[in-house]
Structure 1
């Protein structure tokens, strides 16, 4: 794999023994409760088409709500672009906001990242035109029907870096969801729709005036959850290869404190132009380094096993890295940790090219 870039106290022996027994009992009870809370109610295993209504924001009331529309593009020259629209609530730490984040793994070997946040009252989201915009006067938007063409747009200058992007998804494969797409774990739930499992991409992307005419492929999924990712998710694996003739796209998630239930999520496999569903039964981490799962074995309910090896690791990013030391300390206490985002290229069962976007919850 190639990587780019105390407090002292005194007590008598009996008191210590009692304290030790209490701690062990408490930890055992906590572990039991965590396992019990992770009994998963899976959606009905009926693979069905998504429509424009699945593009609409859920924006559900919850103290720690978050919702993501994630676009990931791989260009023929190796450049990767991840453009994410979001709704996020961090409880007492921060009021609910909408956001947009652009990550560009560029030709110079660097990954450029910019974040913007707005008042959720300004959000524009229309099903008929599949339109999403954070504010009417800001150039961050997505628009266009999935049965024709769908475009994302972003212009901004941040920390001396000028970003200019306009990418159109076309020849879009039919989106899919599994039942209603909602997984429930006690009071928690995660919803998922694979709205663009595959599309060709055209347009342009520029960093500081260096403009590339874009030619590549991409996907987009819509996911929401009513609790923090650091509380629910252990790993998130988005993996894509090939096209709508022969290829696949999958988004699988392993949950925290969950040793008996299978991962959640699903994918679409294309063979000779025909699609079929992929669902995970288990994911084995064969090797990891610096929080990146460099090799995993994905076992599926469809009796196939996928061996995924990271070839190039472009970037690891954490939103908390943009905060000052004091802010980062309090943010980690409130959110229970941080979420690392990683992207790059993979091979699947010895075949390439493929590409990935992983998320890892770190305490």
Structure 2
């Protein structure tokens, strides 16, 4: 126990040191031209640091009003070492919300580039086929209830990425790949004995970074639009000193474009990400992409990163390492184009 406490203290000192050295760092964007995504992008990337973490994220918005959020992660859990985290959250499943998180040793993850498939504990967690039409997502867990999500993309807008998809912030790196900005899905979801056949739309992206997310980011804003066109869909990260990383895809009259953010505002003021926004968020972009604005004052669901961490000690250690509890606030609003936009804002609790 003394050794574990010492490691946590050293981790906190390391966090403070990194924050001090990266506060004035400049963000450098991706290198190369905008391009379509490949199977190589979808496969797990090499862990180049101890705290390297990678996440495959899905947001499903079903026509019956139910939503599902799925994350598969490779991450370092303080005090426990490298783990796979699998979490699923149902919102408005027959009027109720259910969440589950599971944790496994990293060797359970098997990636096959030849089959374009990632499995975690075979037959329970599968990301099958290259993201796009025919991509299947399976999540099956029995913890605090029996959970099932098994859906397949019937159609999908082709994902794109700016160059190598990697931003540099001081000594740290952050990468993002929007594999499916919009796609139609069909399948089934279940909780205990209740099974629903569902169809709807979905968004899917993948990120990796060389350190704990909170050492780089103050807030992350993820959003997707309920219509294929015109559409804004992506993930924008505000660094600890208010600089911007990440990108979105815009599908408008001239086709799909990579949208690099130049400014984010809350109301009429520049937004630095220090606190959760409570009014409206507006985004300005390069390349002639039209601005986007939507209200964020009505939250439909609040979730916690700790939901995917097993064990009291590991939860406490993760909370200390992150500088607090990392929360996800999720909602739906109308954007300036009159379209439904589904959003999630992530960051350490104010």
TM-score, normalization by structure 2? 0.85
Q: Matches of 2:229 and 2:305 in 1, distance apart?
A: 37
- The 3 A distance-change label for structure 1 pair 119 and 330 is closer
Q: Does 1:97 align with 2:78?
A: no
Provide structure 1 residue ranges, at least 5 long, that are not aligned to the other structure. 1-28
Q: Matches of 1:245 and 1:202 in 2, distance apart?
A: 20
Q: Which structure 2 residues correspond to residues 27-176 of structure 1 after superposition, within 5 A?
A: 33-36=21-24, 38-44=25-31, 46-91=33-78, 93-136=79-122, 138-146=123-131, 148-159=133-144, 161-176=145-160
Alignment-derived partner of residue 270 in structure 1? 251
- The 3 A distance-change label for structure 1 pair 142 and 326 is closer
Deviation at 1:217, TM superposition (A): 0.5
Task: Map Cα deviations across residues 233-255 of structure 1 (whole Å, 9 max, x no partner).
Answer: 11111111143343221211111
Q: Is the 8 A contact 1:198 1:217 kept in 2?
A: yes
Deviation at 1:311, TM superposition (A): 6.8
Q: Does 1:206 align with 2:186?
A: no
Q: Is the 8 A contact 2:250 2:259 kept in 1?
A: yes
Task: Map Cα deviations across residues 34-72 of structure 1 (whole Å, 9 max, x no partner).
Answer: 433x21111136211001111110141322221100011
Structure of greater Rg = 1
- The 3 A distance-change label for structure 1 pair 306 and 245 is closer
Q: Matches of 2:19 and 2:212 in 1, distance apart?
A: 19
CA RMSD of aligned residues (A): 2.7
Q: Does 1:188 align with 2:167?
A: no
Alignment-derived partner of residue 335 in structure 1? 322
Q: Matches of 1:242 and 1:326 in 2, distance apart?
A: 40
Q: Is the 8 A contact 1:297 1:308 kept in 2?
A: yes
Q: Matches of 1:186 and 1:30 in 2, distance apart?
A: 9
Task: Map Cα deviations across residues 16-46 of structure 1 (whole Å, 9 max, x no partner).
Answer: xxxxxxxxxxxxx99874433x211111362
Q: Matches of 1:134 and 1:85 in 2, distance apart?
A: 9
Provide structure 2 residue ranges, at least 5 long, that are not aligned to the other structure. 1-16
Q: Matches of 1:282 and 1:45 in 2, distance apart?
A: 22
Task: Map Cα deviations across residues 127-160 of structure 1 (whole Å, 9 max, x no partner).
Answer: 2322111123x5111102345401111222222x
Name the count of aligned residue pairs. Answer: 328
Q: Matches of 1:33 and 1:120 in 2, distance apart?
A: 31
Alignment-derived partner of residue 225 in structure 2? 241
Alignment-derived partner of residue 6 in structure 2? none
- The 3 A distance-change label for structure 1 pair 269 and 330 is closer
TM-score, normalization by structure 1? 0.82
